[in-house]
Structure 1
């Protein structure tokens, strides 16, 4: 038996190239199998998706373009209005995936995490003044349904920031500004409407810049980083929306609440905004009346479900 001399340390170095390959060899792209078809309530489509497990290298078979990682199947009989079945399905999805008052079914003992939530609010001119006010009221109500109780936006709980966008993007407040649900609701209700075009690329780029510690975002691993985009349509003033969306999705989990009807091209664009799987992160309502009904249903459901236990971050953030 041999021994190393006292005080001698051995360091093992593993060398990998920057693109993630241990050996710089020809490698084909590898994708997952297709998911099952999933209904997208409010969008009159079913969707299935696949993901990239390994990118190609050194001339290997390339990965499919982004638009070939998703297939969309239109429903045969779309409706222009929100049905009760659709509203109930959207409420179930929002409650499970966004509000999250209960533990995940597959892991009932896992505690919840608080979140730094960036709200990106569309205030373009295609939204009437009255509908914009309804959206703000419903957004304020939604924030009050989050956990932990009794005040989801107390100092150690969730923090929120908000961007208001149309032709330009306005930083209304950062993550440090408001603590307490009452103060946050007042701030949301006072957001002005810009009333121009829908410049989503600018908004997504600004959102990526907002997700920074100097804007008050916490670095604690017990704090989830999330974005909620509220919009009535796809971008209509240029820019590379897909590149901006992918950059944002690399920094946070992205949800979207859509209010309105969408063309096929608009739907394809909007699906790129959110984290995959899209059915868990994209919620759609066709009318503002349907949005009112959705929030009423969510409010009644949330009042019956106590918040699960939470892991709380340290004071230092």
Structure 2
């Protein structure tokens, strides 16, 4: 009897192992990859980052994505004209859908609801702050499409931040460009610490119908952060930026010198790829010169037509 019981137990174990092996052999598994590494050093103006494959696909699972990615280095020194062209191409002209015909393809600009977040911390002196305000007001005047509350118009809202965020105006407070520009030129200077994460958290409350934002299908939702340094208080800026990026396109104007840690934070705050969403400007004077250069450009807001 004992031998019979042992034989039965061995049979059951063998059957269970065989069933488990069959289960794993037929299980559909997607490719598994690691998170991206940090960007490598700049070589001829480009950088590369990589990730590892942890698991190969099995039984028809999703194939592995690219494990290497190359992008322009947004921190590389460029002339004022080069920076102005980069800002105009990637920010001022906007993004939108495209429609195809038999003989041409047109790229048209979609209406945009743009929230501006302006650093008002004490590391920016009064002259620099005034330069930033004037430059930003003028830059908004070059955004493709008019500012207004009607159809086929862009809407703008703005908050400033230092030790805490402060709303200056929401998306339906001003119905024309001149009023928006005047409001920007009059924003106060808080002159305290730099709680960027708190401002990004507050930004989520701005994208509601009560603040004048339109429905998702009616406009592109964007955030523009203008800052002179990394955060030093409040919520984690990288985490809060990632939450915004789930539904918003985030641009960052990084003005001045940044530590390695500050650069990492700025890159994480901006949408991907950094070369199209992170604009490093060496100083407030260069920012002013870039805006002056942009103002001299012809109006490039007509739909781009490719024959």
TM-score, length basis structure 2: 0.74
- Give unmatched runs, 5+ long, in structure 1: 1-22, 58-62, 311-317
CA distance in 2, matches of 1:296, 1:29: 48
Are the counterparts in 2 of residues 229 and 256 from structure 1 also a CA contact under 8 Å? yes
What pairs with 1:1-317 in structure 2 (closer than 5 Å)? 26-30=29-33, 46-49=46-49, 85-100=78-93, 109-148=106-145, 151-153=146-148, 155-156=150-151, 157-301=153-297, 304-309=298-303
Describe the SS at the equivalent of 1:162. Answer: strand
Partner of 1:8: none
Are the counterparts in 2 of residues 234 and 269 from structure 1 also a CA contact under 8 Å? yes
CA distance in 2, matches of 1:171, 1:31: 39
Are the counterparts in 2 of residues 116 and 158 from structure 1 also a CA contact under 8 Å? yes
Structure 1 residues 247 and 32: alpha-carbon distance in aligned structure 2, compared to 1, 3 A threshold? closer
Task: Tell me which moved more, 250-259 or 214-223.
Answer: 214-223
CA distance in 2, matches of 1:104, 1:91: 24
Partner of 2:21: none
CA distance in 1, matches of 2:111, 2:73: 36
RMSD: 4.1
Q: Which structure's residues are more often helix, by fraction?
A: 2
- Give unmatched runs, 5+ long, in structure 2: 1-25, 58-63
Partner of 1:6: none
Are the counterparts in 2 of residues 38 and 279 from structure 1 also a CA contact under 8 Å? no
Are the counterparts in 1 of residues 162 and 190 from structure 2 also a CA contact under 8 Å? yes
CA distance in 2, matches of 1:145, 1:254: 18
CA distance in 1, matches of 2:171, 2:111: 13
Are the counterparts in 2 of residues 103 and 110 from structure 1 also a CA contact under 8 Å? yes
**CA-CA distance at 1:32 after TM superposition:** 10
**CA-CA distance at 1:214 after TM superposition:** 2.3
Task: Tell me which moved more, 278-287 or 220-229.
Answer: 220-229
CA distance in 2, matches of 1:49, 1:213: 39
CA distance in 1, matches of 2:213, 2:42: 34
TM-score, length basis structure 1: 0.72
Encode CA deviations 1:27-59: one digit per residue, 9 max, x unaligned.
44247999x99979xxx9743356999x999xx
Structure 1 residues 289 and 50: alpha-carbon distance in aligned structure 2, compared to 1, 3 A threshold? same
CA distance in 1, matches of 2:172, 2:221: 15
Are the counterparts in 2 of residues 100 and 147 from structure 1 also a CA contact under 8 Å? yes
**CA-CA distance at 1:154 after TM superposition:** 5.3
Partner of 2:4: none
Describe the SS at the equivalent of 1:175. Answer: coil
Describe the SS at the equivalent of 2:269. Answer: coil
CA distance in 1, matches of 2:133, 2:170: 17
**CA-CA distance at 1:241 after TM superposition:** 2.0
Which structure would you say has the larger Rg? Answer: 2
**CA-CA distance at 1:92 after TM superposition:** 1.5
**CA-CA distance at 1:222 after TM superposition:** 3.9
**CA-CA distance at 1:175 after TM superposition:** 0.7
